[in-house]
Amino acid sequence: MDRESPGSSGSSQGRETLPSLTGLRWVAAFLVFGLHFTALQLGTPLGSPAPSAIDQGVLDVFGTGFIGVSFFFVLSGFVLTWSTPTDRPALLFWRHRVAKVFPVYVAASVLAVLLTFASLDIWPSWRTALAHAFLLQAWIPDQSYIFGLNPVMWSLSAEAFFYFCFPALLVVLVRASTRALYVTGAACVALTLAGPTLVGRVFTLKTPEPTPIVPMEGYDSQFMLWFTEVFPLMRLTEFVVGIVVALLVRRGAWRGPNAHVALAICVVAFVLNRELPEPLQRAAGMLVPFALLIAGMANADREGRWTPFRGRIMVFLGKISFCFYAVHMVLILNTLGRIRPWLVDLGLLSRPDQALPAWGVLVGLVVYALVAGVAAWILYRCVEVPMTRIIRGRAQTAKPESSDRPDPEKSDGDGADADRRVGSSTA
């Protein structure tokens, strides 16, 4: 069929097992972690004007790790479309999303505030705290708001906007013809490609900009960085591409390479993407390869074919990936100026400005990942899973669904049980 019935819930598709998408979440989260790990520069003596060979090597691998956020945005649109019945009330959908992501968001934000106060004796301003409390930081073109508490959580501010739009987007796109879906996807790709160039030529701010918090390489202004990388409306195109791909795969109308070819395309694109201008690296360079990869892996899982991301370890890591994403930057920021003095105290360095050998940098990468991973597992087991069940349980008690509608805990691709099938869509 060229169109789906408006009342179709897609419940049979939502129950299909897609473990490879869960495993891929970990890969995306680890790319972001690796990018932020490069800030430690453990292999370079303090005060050196250029990074050492080992630090440069780590930067070459993880320097574009921000593409993990773009992957999460595309995956989010795909997973939510795949797992959400089209007749699910919007209020129930939104409550499920709050139950899934907000407890972890609050816990990670509180942890960031407490650690910052303990280490620097600084509290965030009430304006920054208020913007983060209501997930509005991505809408403010000021880096002190965007990156003020837990810097990576601007992406959840964008995701909150995507969640708000999703019920309406699904109602419209599920009725679209297959040709219209392809046109929509192509238009989103074109907008993602053209957006950074158009913004740089059309928009500017006349007021003086504050001191930047993050590196500005490749951007003419903080406003351009915000508009092209953070502004939720600009990033919505990636989410819509995910929705379109999910609908095409579900209809059997997707025309793309298999999982292994798509993975090879992504690897090549990952290398080539580093040569693009900085604003295009963030999303445009990897948007099509990510769409191909997600569709290819989903089809492989549906057909029971092997992929490198569907094993038990990868699925476990995928389950805790949102918590890993939420806590890793807090860990890095609060050890940034302390790690070398600690190593001196342990007798591993003779001076606090000394560099670690190459093997020490690699060990440091593993240790940071392990510590963040353990913290993520604790957060997952003690906050994400129980709070999701509690909040959703209240929603079910308050408004039970009809018996012919799929159980949200079994067909909603963002529940604890659904994690074993499709995976969470948070960034």
Report which of residues 264 and 349 the model is more confident about.
264
Q: Give tens-digit pLDDT for 104-141.
A: 999 999 999 998 888 777 788 889 999 999 999 999 98
Q: Which of 250, 230, 94 is nearest to 165 (CA)?
A: 94
More confident residue, 220 or 314: 314
pLDDT band at 424 (very low <50, low <70, confident <90, very high): very low
> pLDDT by residue (tens digit) across 38-94?
999 999 999 898 999 999 999 999 999 999 999 999 999 999 999 999 889 999 999
Separation in Å, CA 15 to CA 159, 232, 316, 388: 24, 30, 19, 19
Average pLDDT, rounded, for the chain:
87
- What average pLDDT does range 250-254 have in this prediction? 96
Residue 1's contacts (CB-CB under 8 Å, 6 or more residues apart) are 251
Other Cβ atoms less than 10 A from the Cβ of 373: the count is: 20
Residue 77 and residue 243 in contact, taking contact as beta carbons nearer than 8 Å: yes
Nearest to 75 by CA among 359, 349, 290, 329: 290
- Position 285 scores a pLDDT of 94
How sure is the predictor about 204, in pLDDT bands with cuts at 50, 70 and 90? low
What number is the average pLDDT over the span 330-357?
92
CA pair distance 405, 394, nearest whole angstrom: 18
Torsion angle in degrees (nearest 10) through CA of 300, 303, 306, 310: 70
Output 227-230 pairs: Cβ under 8 A, ≥24 positions apart.
Answer: 227/141, 227/199, 227/203, 228/195, 228/196, 228/199, 228/279, 228/282, 229/66, 229/279, 229/282, 230/138, 230/146, 230/154, 230/158
- Span 404-418, average pLDDT: 37
User: Which of 21, 32, 61, 116 minimizes the C-alpha distance to 376?
Assistant: 32
Task: Give the model's pLDDT for residue 182.
Answer: 98
pLDDT band per the 50, 70, 90 thresholds, residue 146? very high
At residue 219, the pLDDT reads 76
CA dist 209 and 207 (Å) reads 6
Is pLDDT above 70 for 322?
yes
Rounded Cα distance, 14 and 48, in Å: 53
- pLDDT reading at 218 higher than 80: no
pLDDT at 120: 72
Q: Helices (DSSP H) in 149-276: which residue ranges? A: 154-173, 178-202, 222-225, 232-251, 259-273
Residue 15 has pLDDT above 80, yes or no: no
pLDDT at residue 2 above 90? no
Q: For residue 8, name the pLDDT band (cuts at 50, 70, 90).
A: very low
Residue 205 — very low, low, confident or very high, per pLDDT cuts 50/70/90? low
pLDDT at residue 209, rounded to an integer? 64
CA distance 20 to 24: 6
What confidence tier does 326 reach under pLDDT thresholds 50, 70, 90?
A: very high
CA dist 80 and 243 (Å) reads 8
At residue 323, what is the residue type? C
Q: Provide the pLDDT confidence category of residue 228 given band limits of 50, 70 and 90.
A: confident
Contact yes or no for 33/369 (Cβ under 8 A) = yes
The answer to which of 102-106, 206-210, 249-253 has the lowest mean pLDDT is 206-210
**Residue 88, C-beta contacts closer than 8 angstroms, at least 6 positions apart:** 9, 167, 405, 408
